[in-house]
Chain A
Amino acid sequence: EADIYQTPRYLVIGTGKKITLECSQTMGHDKMYWYQQDPGMELHLIHYSYGVNSTEKGDLSSESTVSRIRTEHFPLTLESARPSHTSQYLCASSEWGQVYNEQFFGPGTRLTVL
Chain B
Amino acid sequence: QQNVQQSPESLIVPEGARTSLNCTFSDSASQYFWWYRQHSGKAPKALMSIFSNGEKEEGRFTIHLNKASLHFSLHIRDSQPSDSALYLCAVSTNAYKVIFGKGTHLHVLP
Q: Do A and B bind each other?
A: no
Residues of A within 8 A of B (CB): none
Chain B residues with CB under 8 Å of chain A are none
